[in-house]
């Protein structure tokens, strides 16, 4: 099958002042990332905060401009669209943020908040928009009277349902979910994930699901990409990644996931230190400063990405 979205060699660089304040340095937030997403699936993107996953999501929507690469969506390169073409296509690609209300008017009712994307895209009459807002409240499992409420009257979980509703109300094909459940407690998290899966099936949605917690991503993803310092270091179907992780960094992330099975208890691997600054990434394999298996080769030569098993890609000299 042809992917719905094919990203090739994506780089998003920007300049920032170095901590000493004198010289400017290039931050390679996303550094040569390639992956594809098929229609109806969920691609999970995991990694520590600051690894570039949110920048990647924003770049796909051109909320941040790419430095190089292409993102082919239905035979069009999203990075080569004019502003007006982009506006049309943007309806098909929506994003859900961790806190959808941080950027919204706190005095606007939930109903008007849901209607706003329809108004922006010029969809329907005011009366039709109102009907769709009521319909969307039903879709995301909230009572109709929430239409008249204000954001602060809702719980975190209810607000995230509105964030999802705002994305879905324009009938998108791809939804980029940037840490949509990270601020919620565990029970609300799983309710939200279940709702997202159910709506994915009903509305034939394709998700790019971004999170720092690989345990959360597991329950919704078909394939997972593991990101470290701007690069995808391992990518595999979810079962393959959990049963046979190959990259040392993936093993670290997996060892932090609580394991209910006492027979297969894993030892928790604790990483040394913080991730290096993207202002000054290590040479060779960028993970070598924290990797227990690093060799001379790792310190000097970036590992190439290879297909270790069908559809299972890894960039590590060890494998
Ligand atoms: Fe560790 Fe070397 Fe593999 Fe990098 S290439 S993850 S440093 S073993
Ligand atoms: Mg982020």
Tell me, what CATH number does 183's domain have?
3.40.50.300
pLDDT at 280: 80
pLDDT at 21: 67
User: Residue 184 burial (CB < 10 Å; 0-12/13-18/19+)?
Assistant: buried
CA distance 277 to 210: 21
Number of Cβ within 10 Å of residue 26's Cβ equals 12
The verdict on residue 103 lying in a domain is: no
- Which bound ligand lies closest to the C-alpha atom of 252? 1
What pTM does this model have?
A: 0.93
pLDDT in tens, 269-307: 777 777 788 788 899 999 999 999 999 999 999 999 999
Please indicate whether residue 229, judged by its CB atom, sits closer than 6 Å to ligand 1. no
For 142-151, what is the mean pLDDT?
96
The verdict on residue 11 lying in a domain is: yes
Burial 189-215 (b: 16+ CB within 10 A, else e): bebbbebbeebbeeeebbbbbbbbebb
- Which bound ligand lies closest to the C-alpha atom of 319? 1
Query: What pLDDT band is residue 267 in, cutting at 50, 70 and 90?
Result: low
The verdict on residue 98 lying in a domain is: no
For 207-220, what is the mean pLDDT?
94
Shortest-distance atom of ligand 1 to CA 298: 2
Please indicate whether residue 317, judged by its CB atom, sits closer than 6 Å to ligand 1. yes
Please indicate whether residue 14, judged by its CB atom, sits closer than 6 Å to ligand 1. no
- Which bound ligand lies closest to the C-alpha atom of 47? 2
Number of domains in the chain: 1
The verdict on residue 181 lying in a domain is: yes
The verdict on residue 234 lying in a domain is: yes
The DSSP code sequence of 83-142 is HHHHHHHHTTEEEE-SSTTTTS-TTS-HHHHHHHHHHHTT-S-HHHHHHHHHHHHHHTT-
Please indicate whether residue 236, judged by its CB atom, sits closer than 6 Å to ligand 1. no
Please indicate whether residue 291, judged by its CB atom, sits closer than 6 Å to ligand 1. yes
Q: How far is CA 107 from CA 32, 117, 132, 298, in A?
A: 42, 17, 21, 54
* 3-state class (DSSP) for residue 201: helix
pLDDT in tens, 69-120: 999 999 999 999 998 888 888 899 999 988 777 767 789 999 999 999 999 9
The verdict on residue 62 lying in a domain is: yes
pLDDT at 68: 98
Mean pLDDT score of the chain: 92
For 35-41, what is the mean pLDDT?
97
Q: Which domain holds residue 291?
A: 5-92+172-314
Please indicate whether residue 316, judged by its CB atom, sits closer than 6 Å to ligand 1. yes
pLDDT at 314: 98
CA distance 284 to 175: 34
pLDDT in tens, 165-210: 999 999 999 999 999 888 889 899 999 999 999 999 999 999 999 9
The verdict on residue 261 lying in a domain is: yes
ipTM given for this complex: 0.96
Query: What spacing in Å lies between the alpha carbon of 126 and ligand 2's midpoint?
Result: 35
CA distance 220 to 102: 25
55 pLDDT more than 70: yes
pLDDT at 40: 96
HSE (side-chain half, CA atoms, 13 Å) at 277: 9
pLDDT at 276: 84
pLDDT at 87: 86
Number of Cβ within 10 Å of residue 20's Cβ equals 6
Query: What pLDDT band is residue 263 in, cutting at 50, 70 and 90?
Result: low
Number of Cβ within 10 Å of residue 40's Cβ equals 15
Please indicate whether residue 285, judged by its CB atom, sits closer than 6 Å to ligand 1. yes
Number of Cβ within 10 Å of residue 74's Cβ equals 12
Query: What spacing in Å lies between the alpha carbon of 29 and ligand 1's midpoint?
Result: 20
Which ranges constitute the DSSP H helices of 262-309? 296-300
With DSSP H G I counted as helix, E B as strand and the rest as coil, what are the percentages for the chain, rounded to 5?
35, 25, 45
pLDDT at 109: 96
HSE (side-chain half, CA atoms, 13 Å) at 193: 22
The verdict on residue 143 lying in a domain is: no
CA distance 208 to 224: 10
pLDDT at 242: 96
- Tokens at 258, concatenated: 């609580």
pLDDT at 84: 87
């Amino acid at each position: 099958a042809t992917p719905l979205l094919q990203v090739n060699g994506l780089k998003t660089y920007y300049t920032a002042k170095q901590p000493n304040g004198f010289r400017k340095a290039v931050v390679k937030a996303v550094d040569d990332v390639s992956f594809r997403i098929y229609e109806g699936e969920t691609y999970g993107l995991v990694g520590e905060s600051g690894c570039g996953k949110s920048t990647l999501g924003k770049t796909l929507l051109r909320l941040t401009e790419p430095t190089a690469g292409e993102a082919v969506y239905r035979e069009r390169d999203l990075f080569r669209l004019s502003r007006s073409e982009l506006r049309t296509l943007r309806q098909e690609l929506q994003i859900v943020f961790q806190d959808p209300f941080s950027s919204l008017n706190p005095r606007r009712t939930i109903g008007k908040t849901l209607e706003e994307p329809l108004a922006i895209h010029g969809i329907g009459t005011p009366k039709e928009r109102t009907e769709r807002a009521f319909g969307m409240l039903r879709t995301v499992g909230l009572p109709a009277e929430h239409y008249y409420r204000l954001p602060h009257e809702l719980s975190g979980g209810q607000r995230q349902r509105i964030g999802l509703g705002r994305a879905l109300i324009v009938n998108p094909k791809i939804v980029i979910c940037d840490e949509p459940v990270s601020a919620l407690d565990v029970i609300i998290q799983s309710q939200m994930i279940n709702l997202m899966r159910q709506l994915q099936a009903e509305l034939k949605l394709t998700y790019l699901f971004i999170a720092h917690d690989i345990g959360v991503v597991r329950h919704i993803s078909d394939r997972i990409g593991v990101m470290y310092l701007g690069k995808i270091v391992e990518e595999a179907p979810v079962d393959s990644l959990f049963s046979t992780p190959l990259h040392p960094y993936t093993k670290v992330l997996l060892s932090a996931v609580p394991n209910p099975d006492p027979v297969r208890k894993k030892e928790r691997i604790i990483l040394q230190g913080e991730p290096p600054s993207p202002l000054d990434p290590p040479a060779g394999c960028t993970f070598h400063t924290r990797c227990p298996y690093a060799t001379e080769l790792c310190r000097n030569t970036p590992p190439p990405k290879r297909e270790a098993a069908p559809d299972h890609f890894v960039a590590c000299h060890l494998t």
